[in-house]
Amino acid sequence: MEILSQILPFVFLIAIMYFVIIRPQNQQAKKHKEMIEALTKGDKIITTGGLIVEIKKVEDKFFMIKMNNETEARLVKDAVARKYEDEA
């Protein structure tokens, strides 16, 4: 009984850490992965560097992107921060 009373606070602390830190972080990562998988040609995205670009072609691990009228580049899917929504 004495051992249980000593271990119980640690169990509660670990449970609180799981529900406050670990679980929300895993849910956010899952939503981000689903968002990246749902991107298609023509979508505008914001990169982790802050560039707003348009997807020209979806590849396995990369996006072929168009930065302006002439510049094209390949972007690693991990470098996508979020989808750009025009607020017009």
Q: What is the pLDDT of residues 64-77, one digit of tens each?
A: 999 988 899 999 99
Q: Kindly report the CA angle at 86 between 79 and 58, in degrees rounded to 5?
A: 40
Q: Say how many C-beta atoms besides its own lie within 10 A of residue 55's C-beta.
A: 19
Q: What's the longest Cα–Cα distance across the chain?
A: 73
Is 88 a residue whose pLDDT tops 60? no
* Domain range list for the chain: 1-38, 40-88
Q: Give per-residue pLDDT as tens, 36-53.
A: 999 999 999 999 999 999
Phi first, then psi: give them for residue 22, nearest 5 degrees: -70, -50
* Bridge partners (DSSP) listed for residue 52: 46
Domain 40-88: give its CATH code: 2.30.30
pTM of the model: 0.78
For 4, residues 6+ apart whose C-beta sits below 8 A from its C-beta are: none
